Amino acid sequence: MRGERSFNRKAMKLFLLLSLLSGLLIVALFYIVQMHHIRAGAAKALRRQFAMAGLEQAEKLPDCYYVFLEDEEFMTEPEREMSRLCKENPQEFPLYKIHHFSYQGSSIYFCLADAQEILLDAEGILLVYVDMSFAVNMVRTAAAILAGAAGVLCLILFWAERRTVGILDEKDRSMKEFFSNASHELKTPLMAIRGYAEGMEQGVVSWETAYPVMIRETERMEGLIHSILEFSKLDSGMRKPRMLQNDVREILYDAIGIIEPAAQKRGIQMIVRLPEPVLFYCDEEMLFSACSNIMTNCVRYAKTSITAEIFRQTDPGLLRICIGNDGETISKQDLEHMFDRFYKGAGGQSGLGMALSLEYVRLQGGNITVRSQEGHTVFEIVLREDGK
């Protein structure tokens, strides 16, 4: 189970890591693309000033500013700093080559140009620049928002991952436990059949002795396999209730007919109190299986009698089916775990019948409860018609 849990966690953590990396990659690509657009826009704006590219005048581009390189008296602080750089390293700043300049949060694209290219009657070198600080700050803010959103999404995914892993681990545990119990239950009748078959082969067990045991164990194994397959269909969602209007009284009569021979063989009296036809929306097959399983259980542990009753509540959407016996009082522990899969109390069978009954009833929007005191046990099936 530890290995399976590790696999679930590794898979979900890998998914979380890929999601985080994908989010960061998206933010990085957004930032790179937008900064490229800003640089391209600044370059177009600068080149338009001295006709280095044939651009349509209708194209909206950033505003350009220019000052004479030697006219430091009227320069702003960023302009003065750009001028200083150009004067200190003239070989790195040839005419018309565009450079990027950052100063105290400002993002500026600039180049040097011959003044006659822009001002026909002027001489000297112009510092031509475009201030893209606002656009750059907007992109950085948007990237930060995207990064924050990616972080929040990762936190949500982390929370969901923990819950999902818990659910997957629980399903893995239940599945492993289910198949472990199923294999154990199947081994019991198989070992009995094999033991009697070997005894017959060796001549130590007669056919008359082995035959009824082998038939009984075969039927037990067949019922167990049927229950396992039913649980498989229910868990996978393949089995859905078909909610139709049925006469619940007839369904109970059919279930009674199944267990009546066993009751008569044990001398168990059957007390049936069923009203006039009771039409109710339910799945006929599922309700029949649930009632017959409960009745079989009641007959198995009854001393002298079992009872079956139907109560139609004043609320027309509510129906109660009560099935009980006069067997020994069921212990508190058995009552708490009676509907658990493969749980077997004292003298119990496979432990699937009652669990399957509860699943059938719950699929129809109902529930099963059991109470046992002073030698009287009652199973109560409650169905709600709005379960359809």
Q: For residue 271, give the CATH number of its domain.
A: 3.30.565.10
Closest to 106 (Cα-Cα) out of 88, 71, 80: 80
Domain end point (choices 116, 141, 166):
141
Domain end point (choices 111, 141, 171):
141
Angle in degrees, CA 176, 178, 183, rounded to 5: 95
Confidence category of residue 1, pLDDT binned at 50, 70, 90: very low
Percent of the chain residues topping a pLDDT of 70: 87
Please report whether residue 252 resides in a domain: yes
Q: Which domain holds residue 373?
A: 244-387
**Cβ 50 vs Cβ 96: under 8 Å:** yes
DSSP β-bridge partners for residue 368? 381
Q: Looking at the 3D structure of the chain, how many domains does it have?
A: 2
Percent of the chain residues topping a pLDDT of 90: 15
Please report whether residue 212 resides in a domain: no
Domain end point (choices 85, 107, 141):
141
Confidence category of residue 370, pLDDT binned at 50, 70, 90: very high
Same-domain check for residues 130 and 264: no
Please report whether residue 375 resides in a domain: yes
What mean pLDDT is predicted for residues 146-153? 87
Q: What is the pLDDT of residue 44?
A: 86
Q: What is the pLDDT of residue 315?
A: 66
Please report whether residue 98 resides in a domain: yes
Please report whether residue 364 resides in a domain: yes
Q: What is the pLDDT of residue 32?
A: 92
Q: What is the pLDDT of residue 122?
A: 74
Please report whether residue 260 resides in a domain: yes
Higher pLDDT, 317 or 344: 317
**How distant, in Å, are the alpha carbons of 45, 257, 320 from that of 114?**
16, 109, 99
Q: 248 exposed, middle or buried (CB, 10 Å; 0-12, 13-18, 19+)?
A: buried
Please report whether residue 147 resides in a domain: no
β pairing state of 305-312 and 269-273: parallel
Q: What is the pLDDT of residue 381?
A: 93
Same-domain check for residues 129 and 248: no
Cβ partners under 8 Å of residue 120, min gap 6:
none
Same-domain check for residues 133 and 253: no
Please report whether residue 301 resides in a domain: yes
